[in-house]
Amino acid sequence: MKPAARQPVTTTVQSTSIEGGRRDPLVRLPIIIAAVFLAAGNEDFGFDPAGYLDPFMHLGYFWHYPAHLPALDHDYKASRLPWILPGYVFHWLGDPAAASIVLVFATLAAGGVALYLLVRDIAQDRAAAAVSAAAWTSCTWAHGIGGWNYQVLAATDYFLVATWLAFRAATTGAASSAFLAGVCAAAAAHTHLQYATFVPLLALTFWSGLPGGTPSVQRLVRDGLWGLAGAIGITVALGAVNAASGGDWLFFMPQIVRAQYLMREDIWWLEARVWVPAATYLVVPVAFMIAALGVLFRTDPPERLRPKRTLIVQAWLALGIMCFTQFARRKGTLDQSFLAFPVYAYGFPCIGILLASRRNMPRSVVVAAASITAILVPLLLLMPATLPRVMTDAVTLFGATGLPPVVPPLAVALIGCTAMMVARGSARLIVFGLWFGLVNAWIAPAPSAYGIHTPGYRRQMVELFREADGLTTAFDPRLDGIKYWFPDNERIALPDADIPLGWIFDSYVSTRGWMGNLLGHASAVPLQKLTREDLQTAVCIGLLTSPRTSGQLEIAMQEHFAGLGVPLRRVTIRHLKSRSIAFDLTLLKPADAPQRFGPPCLR
């Protein structure tokens, strides 16, 4: 065959209606992207850094949910059952690294798939849905605070699925969709209570999907009741699990009590001037929402425009709710990155709506692929060092070094949005991929978690924590007999740089309730300030040190308490060591404590 005789092959990504074709291979895209990030071989990807408390407390629940329950059932963190129970099951099935990887993969992929389905069905444009889902799965803030050990990405996944199902219930009339929307909405609220304030917005989603004209009251009541049944059903099921595990039926009450307390006085609440200048985590969703305002002025066919416009309005309503809580009620909702993450639940659908073609115009699959490539390349090939260095140089070149950190990336994002809106047709997807890929990598909270085969320590740290956990659980099965201590001025050597030992200490002790198991009831009490009274609640002392100083600090601890009339003896010492990180854990107990049957540190 002569080359000239070949017919040109044009592959297009057809826009699709909800009743369209049954096969949709693009729905697999977020799954593939999540797998690519994990396969790139970054040891830090999906694992939390040393020094974090909350994710490691949650990790402790995954490891010891039944053991924690008697002590921590009234803790608001333990009441996030739609998230803690799957985490417990996966960690029970496999080793901690594998369980974390599977959970991170599942949360990233599930959110991307949900976003794809939502944008596809509302905007009726598969290319736009694919690009926005790729952006979601590649979003560096979702990786940072959305790793499975933090609850917000899982909650956002539940909410995105609920939003899609609510829209689907409206368009198809399927009672099962309404029921499942209720299930997912309740799961989102139980996982992160902020989503309870978004539940009324789901009613708007449902309304926007209803066929034209005034919906029948019968239809509204029927689907509303199905949704309610789903929400009550999952709540009762989780309550039954909690009660069967020895906890309360009303497992969700601690979160509500906590929220009420914080509404009265939130000691962590920050003034806007403190957090806004550094709030790079808001750059992407806010830029998306500002750009999407353009959709309100479009002249698409009215039937198609209603769900799109409704979604944009919902995004701003959601931000309004969070702003009201932050600024009027003075409860932190936007001043911390993980608290602000629900903004993403509507921010990303907004960009999908904006990217969608107005009238089912076919899109080249090559264009969509190029856009997705532009999103992925900076993370995989220009990180962890090249892109941050280039962007720092660029900021210096433009004389913007004195500006608050949030300004340069926001400026680039808004310029990118403007260019995107000026661009027509498929070019809009390319422009989006270029600016989002750049900004997304630039504002990454953990640049070291990207690139290909980047070394790290976080995964090894979790594996060492699990080894220490096995040791201390054997000696102290109820997890309250060992009180932990570390020398405040020590550092732990890593391949790249040292980190304070206290970061490792805080994260490890967080897996066993943290505050309740600190010797001296604080994280870094100087040795000389420890008293006999500090031993009253301790059967054993757990001494976390660097390998270099464990011997001398053990002696110093023994001399200190011998001086107080309580000589100590060593129960055991464990050298915890991996390729990148090492620390020692020594258990001591009063020398005159009676020898007794069973675990030596059991209270």
On whether the CB atoms of residues 432 and 363 are closer than 8 A, the answer is no
Contact 435, 420 (CB under 8 A): yes
Instruction: Give the position of tokens 């917005």.
Output: 201
In 152-301, which ranges are continuous DSSP H helix?
A: 152-172, 175-191, 199-209, 217-244, 253-264, 272-275, 283-292
The radius of gyration of the chain's CA atoms, rounded to the nearest angstrom, is 26
The HSE-up count of residue 186 (CA atoms within 13 Å, CB side) is 22
Residues between 58 and 97 with contacts to another protein, criterion CB under 8 A: 94-95, 97
Is residue 42 a contact point for another protein (CB under 8 A)? Answer: no
Q: How far is the CB of 530 from another protein (least distance, A)?
A: 25
Is residue 211 within the footprint of another protein (CB under 8 A)?
Answer: no
Q: Phi and psi (nearest 5°) for 343?
A: -60, -30
Q: Which of 66, 92, 176, 250 binds another protein (CB under 8 A)?
A: 176
- In this chain, which of 34, 154, 283, 430 binds another protein, going by CB under 8 A? 34
* One residue of 69, 81, 84, 113 binding another protein per CB under 8 A: 113
Minimum gap (Å) between residue 241 Cβ and another protein: 24
**DSSP state letters, 290-358:** HHHGGGGG----HHHHHHHHHHHHHHHHHHHHHHIIIIIS---SSSSHHHHTHHHHHHHHHHHHHHS-S
Choose between 288 and 508: whose C-beta lies nearer to another protein. 508
Residue 445 or 599: the one with the smaller Cβ distance to another protein is 599
Residue for token pair 């368009």 = 171
Does residue 453 bind another protein (CB under 8 A)?
no
Query: How far is the C-alpha of 562 from the C-alpha of 565, rounded, in Å?
Result: 5
Quick check: helix, strand or coil at residue 360? coil
14 in contact with another protein (CB under 8 A): no
Print the SS3 string covering 96-110. HHHHHHHHHHHHHHH
Which of 12, 172, 373, 537 touches another protein (CB under 8 A)?
Answer: 172
Would you count residue 297 as binding another protein (CB under 8 A)?
Answer: no
Under the binding rule (CB under 8 A), the answer on residue 372 touching another protein is no
496 Cβ contact list (under 8 Å, min separation 6):
448, 455
Q: Which stretch binds another protein (CB under 8 A): 18-26, 197-205, 272-280, 547-555?
A: 18-26
Which of 2, 6, 22, 453 binds another protein (CB under 8 A)? It is 22
Contacts of 264 (CB under 8 A, 6+ apart): none
The residue type found at 530 is L
Stretch that binds another protein, among 20-28, 196-204, 257-265, 545-553 (CB under 8 A): 20-28
| Residue 23 tokens, joined | 């096969």
Q: Judge whether 588 and 557 are in contact, CB under 8 Å.
A: yes
Does 323 engage in binding with another protein (CB under 8 A)? no
Among 12, 32, 253, 414, binds another protein (CB under 8 A): 32
Q: Give the up-direction half-sphere exposure of residue 397: CA atoms within 13 A in the CB hemisphere.
A: 6
Task: Determine the residue type at 478.
Answer: R
349 binds another protein (CB under 8 A): no
DSSP 449: G
Six token digits for residue 352: 């999908």
Which of 174, 313, 323, 380 is close enough to bind another protein by CB under 8 A? 174
Residues between 581 and 600 that touch another protein (CB under 8 A): 597-600
Q: How far is the CB of 553 from another protein (least distance, A)?
A: 20
Q: From the list 18, 243, 366, 394, which residue makes contact with another protein (rule: CB under 8 A)?
A: 18
Q: By C-beta, is 93 or 400 nearer to another protein?
A: 93
Interface pick for another protein out of 71, 572, 593, 603 (rule CB under 8 A): 572
- Choice between 434 and 468, CB closer to another protein: 468
What is the closest distance, in whole angstroms, from the C-beta atom of residue 67 to another protein in the complex?
Answer: 13
Binder among 425, 470, 495, 526 for another protein (CB under 8 A): 470
Strands (DSSP E) along 478-547, which ranges? Answer: 482-485, 491-492, 499-500, 540-545
By CB under 8 A, tell whether 175 contacts another protein: no
314 vs 320: CA distance, rounded Å: 9
What span, in angstroms and rounded, lies between the C-alpha atoms of 167 and 308? 11
Q: Which of 2, 6, 23, 453 binds another protein (CB under 8 A)?
A: 23
Stretch that binds another protein, among 17-25, 224-232, 286-294, 340-348 (CB under 8 A): 17-25
Considering the rule CB under 8 A, would residue 370 count as an interface residue with another protein? no
Asked if 31 touches another protein (CB under 8 A), the answer is yes
Q: Is 35 near another protein (CB under 8 A)?
A: yes
Q: Which is nearer to another protein, 37 or 432 (CB)?
A: 37
Q: Please state at what angle helix 54-72 crosses helix 501-510, rounded to 10 degrees.
A: 40
Tell me the window of 38-46, 205-213, 365-373, 446-454 that interacts with another protein (CB under 8 A).
38-46
Angle at which helix 427-442 crosses helix 407-422, to 10 degrees, equals 170
**Beta bridge pairs of residue 582:** 577
Q: Of the candidates 89, 98, 243, 296, which one interacts with another protein according to CB under 8 A? A: 98
Using the contact rule CB under 8 A, the part of the chain among 78-86, 172-180, 218-226, 260-268 near another protein is 172-180
Contact between 16 and another protein (CB under 8 A)?
no
Among 78, 188, 315, 468, contact with another protein (rule: CB under 8 A):
468
* Bridge-based pairing state of the strands 540-545 and 482-485: parallel
Find all residues with CB under 8 Å of 251, minimum gap 6, and list them: 73, 79, 81, 238, 239, 242
User: Considering CB under 8 A, how many residues would be counted as binding another protein?
Assistant: 46
Asked if 577 interacts with another protein (CB under 8 A), we say: no
> Which residues partner with 585 through β-bridges?
544, 574
Tell me the closest approach of the beta carbon of residue 599 to another protein, in angstroms.
5
Phi and psi (nearest 5°) for 583? -155, 165
* Chain contacts with another protein (rule: CB under 8 A): 18-19, 22-25, 27-28, 31-32, 34-35, 38-39, 41, 94-95, 97-98, 101-102, 105-106, 109, 113, 117, 168, 172, 174, 176-177, 466-471, 473-475, 572, 574, 597-600
